[in-house]
Amino acid sequence: MANQTKMEAYGQILLIAMPAFFLLVLFEKFWGLWKGNDTVPLNDMISSLSSGMTNVTKDVLGLSVVILSYQWFYDRASVFDIQSTWLVYVIAFFALDFAGYWTHRIAHEYNIFWNNHIIHHSSEEFNLACALRQSIASIVKIFAVFLLPAAIFGVPPEVIAVVAPLHLFAQFWYHTRHIGKMGFLEKIIVTPSHHRVHHAINPEYLDKNYGQIFIFWDKWFGTFQEEKEEIPAVYGVTRPVRTWNPIKINFMHFWQLLKDAWRAKKWSDKFTIWFKPLGWRPADVAEKYPIGKIEDVYNFEKYNPQLTKGMLIWSFSQLMALLFLLSYLFGNLAEIGSPGIFYFGAFIFLTVYAYTELMDRNPNAWAWELMKVAYAMFIVFTTGDWFGLSKFLPGAVSIFVGYLVLSAFFSIWFSLRREKLQLAN
């Protein structure tokens, strides 16, 4: 019951946060166009927002396993008893930031943890939308281990639960190229300048600035790097993902580790590869199965498969439809109930997979779309509704079925028809 209440509370928060973030992303897009410096290509934006939708769906539905919860540490390690005053919230915020620094750092340093974070760095742009590229692959969470100082100081779990979303949302604003250096604030908090360095793949910038709110952790622990005018940041990952499909990206590194472990001759390599530094591969596997890597960051071609304007408009329309349906899900978790919310969540994932495959110019994208449509039609015809949507909007089921028919038609059309192509922007 407690977990269900948390799910519903988080869903209500997202009903406000999702449209707010979306509007800010659009603002950055139009601001860039107005200034003649558009940093938000539509294809990249759609992929990023789609990633964010899958992430919040996974989180709201509670699709993760916590090995050791903060409650467990609090019950056993609490030394002090701080009452719920302003001080406990301040301690909680600093403790979350400390834990965030170390969790973030190990995600960059060890093979097994990079899979949880690759999605966030997969964009070859740097904008507010890419802040929403968050993981669905972080099924097993160890964040609470680094919250041990908070547990010792007696910060109650309910305070952590309140402060954690605020701490997370406060990391959104600095994912932009439109804000320069910020004077004395550069010495205290993480600014856009600091985080541009973090997302860069330039050798001078790689694996620096892990801080989430405060930059002094990096200065104390030796991972700080200032942004330099003479070294323009180049964004992405050194092994480019070459896809707009966020679901594929989330498991790409894990799949590579799995293949390398299978192919390795030494049994020790099959085990240790998971815990080795990021990028390590068994020598025999690396020689036989080389992986392409960016050698010159200033001379590589960004991923930008040619799309028609129609394809791009259609993909954006799918995104908007999904935003509406996701808002309905989050606003009615209790009414839909279990297992309905999980069936609904599966539809969200299928939809994202289908239209991002179309954006990748996958000739089989239509098959994923038909799978999505067949799945949704089965639910509609067996229940006579779409998870109670008709109660909130008269004729909603007919509208939804019409959307599914159009979705199938246009996806097949764009998948199979040869049109004059142009680079999407």
Residue pLDDT, tens place only, 391-423: 888 899 999 999 999 999 999 999 887 554 444
Highest-pLDDT range among 11-20, 120-129, 302-311: 120-129
- Report if residue 179 sits inside a domain: yes
The pLDDT assigned to 3 comes to 59
Range of the domain at 382: 309-416
**Secondary structure percentages of the chain, helix, strand, coil, to 5:** 60, 5, 35
Boundary-marking domain end, from 186, 204, 221 = 221
Boundary-marking domain end, from 185, 204, 221 = 221
pLDDT at 142 over 80: no
What average pLDDT does the segment 248-272 reach?
A: 97
What average pLDDT does the segment 87-96 reach?
A: 94
Are the C-beta atoms of 180 and 194 separated by less than 8 Å? no
- Report if residue 106 sits inside a domain: yes
The pLDDT assigned to 84 comes to 66
The pLDDT assigned to 423 comes to 45
Q: pLDDT averaged over the chain?
A: 92
What average pLDDT does the segment 346-375 reach?
A: 96
The pLDDT assigned to 307 comes to 86
What does pTM read for this prediction? 0.93
- Report if residue 411 sits inside a domain: yes
The pLDDT assigned to 65 comes to 60
Residue pLDDT, tens place only, 161-189: 889 999 999 999 999 999 999 999 999 99
Among 81-95, 197-211, 311-325, 385-399, the minimum mean pLDDT is found in: 81-95
For residues 69 and 217, state if they share a domain. Answer: yes
For residues 190 and 331, state if they share a domain. Answer: no
Boundary-marking domain end, from 188, 206, 221 = 221
The whole-angstrom separation of Cα 37 and Cα 35 is 5
- Report if residue 202 sits inside a domain: yes
65-66 and 140-141 strand pairing: parallel
The pLDDT assigned to 166 comes to 94
pLDDT at 263 over 50: yes
Per the DSSP assignment, residues forming a β-bridge with 214 are 189
The pLDDT assigned to 394 comes to 85
Q: Which two tokens stand for residue 217?
A: 């952790």
Number of Cβ within 10 Å of residue 213's Cβ equals 18
- Report if residue 24 sits inside a domain: no
- Report if residue 390 sits inside a domain: yes
pLDDT at 425 over 80: no
pLDDT at 197 over 50: yes
What average pLDDT does the segment 9-36 reach?
A: 93
The pLDDT assigned to 422 comes to 44
For residues 69 and 192, state if they share a domain. Answer: yes
- Report if residue 254 sits inside a domain: no
pLDDT at 371 over 60: yes
For residues 113 and 213, state if they share a domain. Answer: yes
The pLDDT assigned to 401 comes to 97
The pLDDT assigned to 419 comes to 53
Strands (E) across 111-262 are located at 140-141
For residues 70 and 210, state if they share a domain. Answer: yes
Are the C-beta atoms of 216 and 188 separated by less than 8 Å? yes
The whole-angstrom separation of Cα 325 and Cα 317 is 13
For residues 97 and 209, state if they share a domain. Answer: yes
More confident site: 62 or 166: 166
For residues 110 and 210, state if they share a domain. Answer: yes
- Report if residue 244 sits inside a domain: no
Q: At what angle do helices 340-359 and 42-60 cross, to 10 degrees?
A: 160
Domain count, the chain: 2
Alpha helices for 36-146 (secondary structure H): 42-60, 70-77, 86-109, 111-114, 118-121
